[in-house]
Amino acid sequence: MAFANTLADRVCALGPQDLTPDAIRWGKVAITDTIACMLAGAGEPCVEALERALRIEPTKGPCLVLGRGRRAGPLEAALVNGTAAHALDFDDVNKTMGGHPSAPLLPVLLALADLQDVSGRDLLLAYAAGFETACKLGRAVNFHHYEKGWHPTATLGTFGATAAAGRLLGLDPQRMTMALSIAVSFASGVKANFGSMTKPLHVGHAARGGLFAAQLAREGFTAQDAAFDHRQGFFELFNGAGTYDPEKAFENWAAPLDLEWPAVGIKRYPSCASTHSSIDALLELMERESLANDDVVSVRATIHPRRYPHVDRPDPQTPLDAKFSLRHCIARALLDGAPTLAHFHGETHREPRVLEAMTRVETGRFPPDAPEMDNQLAAEVAVTTRDGRTLVEKIDQAVGRGPEKPVAEEGLRAKFHACCTLAIPRAASERLHAALSDLENLPSARVLTDIAAGKAETPRRAEAAR
């Protein structure tokens, strides 16, 4: 049996029994966080440029473009909302995928929720199916896939989006096989474009591609079911001989769901996740030692070699570039504490005090014999003070990176409202949060876009009016 057949069977076999309490809890955390990031990213220049290129009119279609006051066809809405979800690089991450699992999924699910009757529990199950697909594929191809230069959020995210869409469209295993095989020809995204508008476009493209593949398969469109394991298929072309193991995708499939463990990492800072452990280490050290910027002569931040290349940007040229500069993010934390959305807008990366602080920051990678080589999420920060001390802080992973060190509930809520209120009023943000908190019990998931569009006051009132 071809890989696509087995994968389709597994995706279609997932059922309500797989939505354990932990899966529901983490699913709601991730969906809530992603919708907030989507709303926050809606006003970014890359989203505005994309909308202009698509010539989206205010009432062109049935699906909401969140935060833009427009509606579009499902494929266009998925493309724009997916780009918005990743525009600020504030969306969730996953260890096995090596990327951002939720951003390619939610635009698809919200578009389909606008098109058809989908309960909150239906949406959660489709989300879990897409999450499992993308992340378990990560087990088959990583970390060679990641280090080779592919952007797993885009490549693997395309298959996650396809699986999620296929579940809501009711595809049977045969048509799901076709959808996943069609999606092989849509998967793309290279890390060379990190730090530019094209990185978030990867996500929009993955969301659109996944939805399109599922829609095509529903209509009887065909592909080769050997599209993954053919000698010129996905595994050989994207990885190469000896660098992948398809069977790993099915080891412990849904036992547990990747959504349960290692679950999702929620980002506390709107910068590349590879900068977060170093930021945490610096902030912990400064708080413990009661240090201020003026007390610090120099900082050296060291991270895993796998993480270092795409954040080795000593002279960022744009706000997007600055998100991927470890040197810049450490300088900003030294000056202002936890980096915020406001720190990556306009010309903030060129502020004289930021440029001065960057001259005091060095970055590097762990040597091959370092004990931290066993942990790609670790970081070490060494600070030299004006009174001659050298202080060192080591950290195994950033807060929020997984269930071991979760973001506190108040932190999740604060991030949600800070993001949402960039696009919608606080009252609507509160209503949206309440609906998402009860997602598994919503009769119709369409209420989420209704609230975001300003159409509903409460989930129950919205449902009663239907």
Instruction: Quote the pLDDT of residue 26.
Output: 98
- For 196-220, letters b (16+ CB in 10 Å) and e give ebbbbbbbbbbbbbbbbbbbbbbee
* Eight-class DSSP state of 407: P
What is the CA 430 to chain-centroid distance, rounded? 23
Nearest to 376 by CA among 91, 95, 148: 95
Instruction: Quote the pLDDT of residue 458.
Output: 40
State the alpha helices, DSSP H only, in 258-380.
Answer: 276-289, 319-323, 326-336, 352-358
Instruction: Quote the pLDDT of residue 460.
Output: 34
The tally of CA atoms less than 13 A away on the side-chain side of residue 283 is 19
Cα separation values, 343 from 204, 274, 303, 318, Å: 24, 17, 22, 12
pTM of the predicted model as reported, rounded to 2 decimal places: 0.94
Q: Determine contact, residues 426/434, Cβ cutoff 8 Å.
A: no
Instruction: Quote the pLDDT of residue 457.
Output: 46
What are the φ/ψ torsions at residue 48 (nearest 5 degrees)?
A: -60, -45
Give the pair of three-digit tokens for residue 404: 């071991």
Q: What angle do CA 380, 332, 396 make, to 5 degrees?
A: 25
Block mean pLDDT (10 aa), the chain, length 466:
97 97 98 98 97 85 94 97 98 95 98 96 98 98 95 98 98 98 98 96 98 98 98 98 98 96 96 97 98 98 94 94 97 97 94 97 95 93 97 96 94 98 97 98 97 65 28
What are the φ/ψ torsions at residue 167 (nearest 5 degrees)?
A: -65, -45
Instruction: Quote the pLDDT of residue 456.
Output: 52
Q: What angle do CA 94, 97, 99 make, to 5 degrees?
A: 65
State the alpha helices, DSSP H only, in 64-119.
Answer: 74-86, 106-115
Nearest to 258 by CA among 86, 102, 38: 102
Residue 63's identity, in one-letter code, is C
Strand pairing report for 379-385 and 390-395: antiparallel
The tally of CA atoms less than 13 A away on the side-chain side of residue 354 is 23
State the alpha helices, DSSP H only, in 151-246.
Answer: 152-168, 173-184, 198-218, 234-238
